[in-house]
Amino acid sequence: MKRNNNSSFSALLIMLALATLVVFVSDVSTQAQKTRAAINNAAATTQQPLYTDYKGVRLGMTAGEARTRLGKAAFSDKDLDYYVISETETVQIGIDAQGKVKAISIDYLNGTGAPDPKVVVGAEPATTPDGSLYKMVRYESQGFWVSYSRTAGPVIIVTVTIQKM
């Protein structure tokens, strides 16, 4: 009879261990599903770009559409249009082999007229020891990046760039 009780007790312990294991595996599986769901939700709510165009010129539009919006370029060829907007603002429009805008780079002399970095890249860029600033934000799912940079003196230039990857 004792042997039967020991066997029953051992069987009970094994069943309890298996039940505990099933509960543990189920809990780990549930946690993994929650983690995957959180990652998928984060991907679904990917940060939307703050800065996507310059005076209506966007990546992917034709060079002709960009020229209509910006007027006559100071310099123009098949790969690049260069505009002098004012004494303190210039813009370069890079054009790909299909005649579409692939890059927009705006320079602001002394920072005059430059947008706030938070409007461009969502946060204040880190300042380097020499006083210059730089921050880039990549929008992988949309195929482009945006950057904000400011040189250190004596002549300060703020450059905002939007470019296809």
For 13-55, the DSSP string reads HHHHHHHHHHHHHHHHHHHHHHHHHHHHHHHHTPPPPS--EET
Amino acid at 51: Y
The residue that leads in pLDDT, 118 or 37, is 118
Check if the beta carbon of residue 86 is closer than 8 Å to that of residue 126.
Answer: no
User: pLDDT tier at 19 (50, 70, 90 boundaries)?
Assistant: very low
Q: Is the pLDDT of residue 54 over 60?
A: yes
Q: Is the pLDDT of residue 29 over 60?
A: no
**For residue 12, what pLDDT is reported?**
46
Q: How far apart are CA 165 and CA 148, in angstroms?
A: 16
**For residue 158, what pLDDT is reported?**
98
Amino acid at 159: T
Query: Mean pLDDT over all residues of the chain?
Result: 83
Confidence (pTM): 0.72
Distance of CA 26 to the CA centre of its chain: 36
